[in-house]
Amino acid sequence: MKTKPILAILLLLCGLALAGCGEQAGDEADLAFSLRTGIVEGRMAYIGVGGAIDGQINPDLTVQTGQRVRIAIVNGDGASHDLALPDLGRQTPPVMGKETAAALTFTASETGVYSYLCTVAGHRQAGMEGRLVVTQ
């Protein structure tokens, strides 16, 4: 049977893909946010997905000190994007191509208001910026 090696390779690839997902799921967080990139009224934006931020443009992400926080982005428009928290030294890998996802995690320590933004040249200015609010 000529198809057997192909099946074996497919099974192997599926296994690797599942292992990759497992790694992400093991990155436990107290609070998780999901944002989808998109164009709204001619401006680039992060659009909240699910929970209290669902449908909001560049939503305030409110967390409490001590919480382990996960922020995931999904590419909704096909351009290259990422999400960075420059004040906290965190940045997702770039998401290139529609439906590609990436995430970052951090533990909120200091109260304050921090920017999250896209580091691709021009995107912050085009609208891809919001606020992370860390409360007591």
Using CB under 5 A as the criterion, which residues of the chain lie in contact with Cu ion when the complex forms?
81, 118, 120, 123, 128
In the complex, minimum distance from the CB of residue 13 to Cu ion, in angstroms, rounded to a whole number: 30
DSSP annotation of 51: G
**Could you tell me the two tokens for 136?**
């007591």
CB nearer Cu ion, residue 63 or residue 83: 83
CB nearer Cu ion, residue 36 or residue 123: 123
CA distance 90 to 2: 48
In the complex, minimum distance from the CB of residue 118 to Cu ion, in angstroms, rounded to a whole number: 3
From residue 10, how far is each of 1, 51, 64, 104, 118 by CA, in Å? 15, 36, 43, 29, 35
CB nearer Cu ion, residue 118 or residue 132: 118
In the complex, minimum distance from the CB of residue 83 to Cu ion, in angstroms, rounded to a whole number: 8
In the complex, minimum distance from the CB of residue 45 to Cu ion, in angstroms, rounded to a whole number: 10
Handedness of CA 42, 43, 48, 53 (dihedral sign): negative
Question: What phi and psi values does residue 57 have, to the nearest 5 degrees?
Answer: -85, 125
CB nearer Cu ion, residue 36 or residue 81: 81
**Closest among 39, 72, 67, 25 to 53, alpha carbons compared:** 72
CB nearer Cu ion, residue 63 or residue 127: 127
**Could you tell me the two tokens for 127?**
């609208």
In the complex, minimum distance from the CB of residue 81 to Cu ion, in angstroms, rounded to a whole number: 3
